[in-house]
Amino acid sequence: MELWDIYDANRIRTDELMVRGEVMKEGHFHLVVHVCIFNTEGKMLIQKRQSYKEGWPDRWDLTVGGSAVNGENSQAAAERELFEELGISVSLKNVRPHMTINFERGFDDYYLIEKDVVLSSLKLQEEEVQDARWAGRSEILEMIRSGEFIPYYESLISFMFDQRKHYGSLDRNK
């Protein structure tokens, strides 16, 4: 049984908990994290979800993602997801997400990091992940169009590729 902390609309943690899978009450929100690893060639590490996963089975996805569990902050949840799903250890202490996207029932933090990961060193979590590989922007966008990838907005994928080395919304090189 996975327990989630409940947040209010201002992202302040309440003292309430919920069990994953239960219907959320009005005014309750939870925290989700995504980590996108890019290599020095500018490709993103993507994973293929297991065929028996409840959501988006057999589709390719970002490097990792998942819900924060009881007592975790965003960074701890992102570190745990990376380690659980792919066996990758990183420290995100004092690292802020590159962006947060609000959705109907929560907050989605996105971390964009650069790390040259050797695919053969990955330890895929059997319950979640069936494969992993590197892919460029245009390849991921084509996979979204063909239905092989979770249907993220194409502009979000492009934004992540553009933002992977910076924080903020200004191009300081111009």
| Residue pointed to by tokens 């971390």 | 111
Cα three-residue angle 127-86-152, rounded to 5 degrees: 80
Q: Is the pLDDT of residue 21 over 90?
A: no
What was the pLDDT predicted at 122? 98
What was the pLDDT predicted at 56? 95
3-state secondary structure of 148: coil
- Going by C-alpha positions, the residue among 65, 60, 36, 33 that lies closest to residue 49 is 60
Is the pLDDT higher at 36 or at 1? Answer: 36
Q: Is the pLDDT of residue 101 over 90?
A: yes
Q: Is the pLDDT of residue 172 over 80?
A: no
Q: Is the pLDDT of residue 174 over 80?
A: no
How confident is the model over 146-159, as a mean pLDDT? 97
Sign of CA dihedral 81, 87, 88, 93: positive
Record the tokens describing residue 80, joined without a space.
């745990």
Tens of pLDDT along 103-121?
999 999 999 999 999 999 9
Q: How far apart are CA 24 and CA 5, in angstroms?
A: 11
3-state secondary structure of 7: strand
What was the pLDDT predicted at 168? 83
**Residues with Cβ within 8 Å of residue 167, at least 6 apart in sequence:** 96, 98
| Residue pointed to by tokens 């239905």 | 147
What was the pLDDT predicted at 1? 84
Q: What is the pTM of this model?
A: 0.94
Domains in the chain with CATH codes? 32-64+72-97+106-163 (3.90.79.10)
- Side chain identity, residue 151: P
Q: Which segments of 10-93 are extended strands (E)?
A: 13-19, 30-38, 44-49, 60-61, 64-67
Q: Is the pLDDT of residue 54 over 90?
A: no
Q: How far apart are CA 160 and CA 131, in angstroms?
A: 22
Across 35-44, b (16+ Cβ under 10 Å) vs e yields bbbbeeeebb
Tens of pLDDT along 120-146?
999 999 999 999 999 999 999 999 999
Q: Is the pLDDT of residue 173 over 80?
A: no
How confident is the model over 15-35, as a mean pLDDT? 93
